[in-house]
């Protein structure tokens, strides 16, 4: 007897199916496909991400064990290891990249008013990359070093809600600074990055586009001080200077002035020097903004811990990118669920709960609503006291 819809089905209802179909049509994903559609492939790979499956055989075994429930969660085709492997290898990964972008846009709107560590009216983004190591003999297309393969996940993350807004997947040899050429800069926004992105010609495009950058200065920076501001050294600040670059090529690449802020981090016992083209925010706010860059490091650790992006179900470039983009879409979906249902749970807790309840016939909100845990104390009129106090 059917007593309700399974959690997986309710979860997939949150996806904008018409937008997914548009992505499939754009790249002719279902061309000459009879039984195992792109949406079937997406559902199987999403199931693998949420439940931490280890291989294609693992996915096939688990889904076939739930064969009677697959129709109700939207999987119409027969799940087969070979069919799924061929779909990952041949169906254009851009389908899932575009769909992940749609989910990211939905999530960003939900988190648009989210607060973060700094009171700031403008948008603030953190830019960084993470390397995923691969076996060179299995992934020869992912060139990195002589005896090693890898892919890089270049990410621009909105600090309001920790939602990635721009992602580029490249082989390991692509230097981080090249990604600056692909960014669409928003006037008035802040872009926070580490020293690996210092290229003064590229940084000057931020100034030309009326956007701001914050980065760490290299130790061999050649500059001359033009002006300085008094700072409160009790806050950790050591100097706030307006500088110009001295080097012939550097001064040609970046002819405008820069702001150099020196700060001593007591906790790390380390002196930090920052460069920015913003001259209006207080120096301490610039320092606090750079500290917020740590959120993107947490994001990378999260997706590597909770999603399947360190081991892959296929060896081709298309299969790897398909798996990564579906993992990103799952992250965006979990972020949407958290906001839509007004949950106090962390994203990791939500994913863990879903991993063991996907095929239960319980309302999704009931599964995820935080109830009284076993560790919380509560009073019950039927509870006897062990000791009289």
Domains and CATH numbers, the chain: 7-95+300-368 (no CATH), 121-299 (3.90.350.10)
What's residue 376's pLDDT?
46
- Kindly give the confidence (pLDDT) of every residue in the chain, 389 residues in length, as a single tens digit, with 9 standing for 90 and above: 345 788 999 999 999 999 999 999 999 999 988 889 999 999 999 999 999 999 999 999 999 888 888 877 778 777 899 999 999 999 999 999 999 999 999 999 999 888 887 888 899 999 999 999 999 999 999 999 888 999 999 999 999 989 999 999 999 999 999 999 999 999 999 999 999 999 999 999 999 999 999 999 998 999 999 999 999 999 999 999 999 999 999 999 999 999 999 999 998 899 999 999 999 999 999 999 999 999 999 999 999 999 999 889 999 999 999 999 999 999 999 999 999 999 999 999 999 999 999 988 889 988 888 543 433 444 455 554 444 44
Terminal-residue alpha carbon distance, the chain = 51
- Hey, what's the torsion of the CAs at 375, 378, 382, 384, to 10 degrees? 70
> Which H or E element spans position 126?
strand 124-134
Q: DSSP string covering 69-90, please? A: HHGGGT--SPP-HHHHHHHHHH
Please name which of 253, 276, 273, 275 lies closest in space to residue 265, comparing C-alpha atoms: 273
What's residue 384's pLDDT?
47
CA distances to 64, 266, 284 from 233, in Å: 65, 12, 11
> What is the distance between the alpha carbons of residues 331 and 312, in angstroms, rounded to a whole number?
17
What's residue 372's pLDDT?
34
Q: Name the E strands within 217-278.
A: 223-229, 237-245, 258-265, 270-276
């Amino acid at each position: 007897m059917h007593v309700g819809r399974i959690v997986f089905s309710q979860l997939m209802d949150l996806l904008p199916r018409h937008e997914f179909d548009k992505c499939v049509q754009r790249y002719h994903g279902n061309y000459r496909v009879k039984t195992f559609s792109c949406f079937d492939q997406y559902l199987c790979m999403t199931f693998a991400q949420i439940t931490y499956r280890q291989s294609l055989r693992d996915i096939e075994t688990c889904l076939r064990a739930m064969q009677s429930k697959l129709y109700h969660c939207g999987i119409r085709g027969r799940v087969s290891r070979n069919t799924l492997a061929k779909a990952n290898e041949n169906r254009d990964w851009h389908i899932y990249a575009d769909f992940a972008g749609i989910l990211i846009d939905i999530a960003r709107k939900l988190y648009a008013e989210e607060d973060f560590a700094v009171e700031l009216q403008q948008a603030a983004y953190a830019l960084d990359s993470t390397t995923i190591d691969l076996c060179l003999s299995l992934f020869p297309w992912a060139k990195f070093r002589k005896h090693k393969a890898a892919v890089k996940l270049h990410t621009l993350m909105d600090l309001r809600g920790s939602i990635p807004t721009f992602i580029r997947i490249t082989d390991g040899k692509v230097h981080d600074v090249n990604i600056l050429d692909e960014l669409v800069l928003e006037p008035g926004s802040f872009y926070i990055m580490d020293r690996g992105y210092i290229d003064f010609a590229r940084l000057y495009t931020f100034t030309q586009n009326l956007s701001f950058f914050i980065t760490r200065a290299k130790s061999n920076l050649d500059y001359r001080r033009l002006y300085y501001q008094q700072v409160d050294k009790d806050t950790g600040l050591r100097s706030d200077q307006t500088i110009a670059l001295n080097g012939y090529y550097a001064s040609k690449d970046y002819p405008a002035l820069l702001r150099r802020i020196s700060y001593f981090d007591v906790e790390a016992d380390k002196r930090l020097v920052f460069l920015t083209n913003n001259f209006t925010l207080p120096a301490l706010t610039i320092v606090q903004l750079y500290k917020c860059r740590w959120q993107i490091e947490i994001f990378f650790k999260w997706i590597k811990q909770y999603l399947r992006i360190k081991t892959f179900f296929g060896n081709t470039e298309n299969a790897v990118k398909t798996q990564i983009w579906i993992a990103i879409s799952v992250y965006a979906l979990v972020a949407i669920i958290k906001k839509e249902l007004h949950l106090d749970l962390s994203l990791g807790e939500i994913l863990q709960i879903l991993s063991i309840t996907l095929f239960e016939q319980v309302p999704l909100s009931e599964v995820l609503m935080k109830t009284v845990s076993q560790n919380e104390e509560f009073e019950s009129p039927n509870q006897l006291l062990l000791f009289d106090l």
